[in-house]
Amino acid sequence: MKNNTKIAILLASYNGEKFIAEQIESIIGQTYRNWTLFINDDGSTDSTLRIIEDYSKKYPDKIININYPIKKLGSSANFYKLLESVDSDYYMYCDQDDYWLPDKIEKCMQRMDEQQLILSNAPLIVHSDLKVVDNDLKLLHPSFHGFTKVKPNKFATFNYLGVMNCVTGCTMLFNHAARQLPLQNEETNAWHDWWMALLVARDGKIAYIDEATILYRQHDKNVLGAKEVNLNYFIHVFLTLKDTLKIDRNNYRNLKKLNYGSVFKYFFYKMMFQIRRY
């Protein structure tokens, strides 16, 4: 692994005063040192921006406060804006409320190096499992993918990713070839990590680390949280079927832009996903 390889860590913040300092400290404590943390705040009304400014003054060579004048972008648009503004060898998405284990970057880079020996010029993503924790970082489940019954080694393909994203953005490391894919589209209102995973699965390779590299915090302000798959989960799915179909329509509209295939193919893989996850 080349220690002079540059990594841009992209953090999109919004009202994260409760946990963002702890997240930044976990990045500062990484065993791999050649990283720069780029943060854009999306108009926080709490003390998030002050915390970011304090850290950027304390570590001016490592933490860059982008501070775009345009606010209220939303999470995915904020990540896209950061990605558009930064040039690096590799990139990582970072959520404001998680906690990175000390060797997260090092392990991801080791796996990336292995993949690039095989596919030197291809778009590549490396991602990992997560430990599910509570507000105080106390363990709730040792494996996010075990908790949700999602198996990335089976489902990180273009066809299955079309119906269920198993590549969690906050664990991703991706190369410059992936960065150059057409990630932004004004007509595409898809989650940033799902859209990139689809493009890389189609045009390159997704590699998985079967161990947790972050503590994935569950709290009442999570945009997307871990949901245990049990009887209550399926009851909830049934009761929210109308909303689910609305999401399906939106997802398929986005997939059509990638020439995914027919709507019958979409629902076939959605059914197969539910069968194969057990």
**Distances from the Cα of 130 to the Cαs of 16, 148, 170, 200, 215, in angstroms?**
20, 11, 9, 21, 6
Query: Which structure tokens are listed for 163?
Result: 């119906």
CATH class of domain segment(s) 7-276: alpha beta
Q: What are phi and psi of 7, to 5 degrees?
A: -125, 125
pLDDT, mean over the chain? 90
pLDDT of res. 71? 78
Please state, in angstroms and rounded to a whole number, the distance separating the CA atoms of residues 142 and 202.
Answer: 30
**What is the pLDDT averaged over residues 14-19?**
96
Please state, in angstroms and rounded to a whole number, the distance separating the CA atoms of residues 102 and 106.
Answer: 8
**Mind listing the pLDDT tens digit for each residue in 175-218?**
999 999 987 655 566 889 999 999 999 999 999 999 999 999 99
pLDDT of res. 230? 61
Q: Assess contact for 38 and 11: CB atoms under 8 A.
A: yes
**Which comes out higher in pLDDT, residue 29 or 240?**
29
The enclosing H or E element of 220 equals none
**Mind listing the pLDDT tens digit for each residue in 3-15?**
678 999 999 999 9
Q: Which amino acid is at 139?
A: L
Q: Assess contact for 128 and 211: CB atoms under 8 A.
A: yes
Task: Kindly list the domain boundaries of the chain, sorted by start residue.
Answer: 7-276
Helices (H), 65-140: 75-85, 104-118
In sequence order, the β-bridge partners of residue 126 are 173, 207
DSSP state of 127: E
Tell me the pLDDT band of 40, cut-offs 50, 70 and 90. very high
Query: Which structure tokens are listed for 35?
Result: 């990283």
Task: With a cut of 50, say whether residue 223 has pLDDT above it.
Answer: no
**Mind listing the pLDDT tens digit for each residue in 154-183?**
999 999 999 999 999 999 999 999 999 987
Tell me the pLDDT band of 127, cut-offs 50, 70 and 90. very high
